[in-house]
Copies of this chain bind each other. A is one copy, B any other.
Amino acid sequence: MSITMHSASVPVFVRLLGNLTAWLDKAEAHAAAKKFDASVLLGMRLAPDMLPLKTQIQIACDTAKFTIARLAGVEAPKFDDREATLDELKARVSKTIAFVESIPATQVDGSEERDIALPRRDGVLILKGETYLRTFALPNFFFHVTTTYALLRHNGVELGKGDYLGPLQPAS
């Protein structure tokens, strides 16, 4: 099997979003053990001018969602940014996983040279599909996923590299 635009994107998003869900479970358990309201975590920031945990997770989801929608040339589902609890954030993650898994691999494959329209503050930027995946979509996705992890670790949730990576699949 050769690497493809689908194999380089959907499984990466699904895997890390699944791992992230498990971090949120640990965050809930941590809050229960320490007897604080878990939703306090949604507002935590690493710096005053960085986005809070809630927004980090929303953008991680949206990056996965829009990446696959744009590469496949389909409309992305709309998610309102109204989450107020870890459970609601987990539901958004689940909806994101379900959407990216719903797109047939054949629709994403072959998108290397497709023109992708990326809305930016100062207009729309057109990138080739593979350039978009490599220089925007994957780095942006990992940025928000890793910042979520860093925020949880910084706030005392017991996580390790194994939680970040998830279980590795040995060659059979």
Contact = CB atoms under 8 A, between A and B. Distances in A.
A56 to B, nearest CB: 11
Instruction: Among A12, A127, A150, A164, find the residue whose CB has the most chain B CB atoms closer than 10 A.
Output: A150
A118 B153 CA distance: 26
A169 interface: yes
Interface string A131-150: 10111101110110011011
A135 B168 contact: yes
B168 A134 contact: no
Interface in A152-167: 153-154, 156, 161, 164-166
Interface residues of A, number: 48
What copy number does this chain have within its complex? 2
A171 interface: yes
A5 interface: yes
17 contacts: A2-B112, A3-B3, A3-B5, A15-B134, A46-B153, A46-B154, A47-B156, A50-B153, A125-B170, A127-B168, A127-B170, A127-B171, A128-B171, A138-B142, A142-B142, A142-B143, A143-B164
The 4 closest A-B pairs by CB, nearest first: A142-B142, A146-B146, A150-B150, A46-B154
Interface of A: 1-5, 7-8, 11-12, 15-16, 46-47, 50, 112-113, 115, 118, 125-128, 130-131, 133-136, 138-140, 142-143, 146-147, 149-150, 153-154, 156, 161, 164-166, 168-171
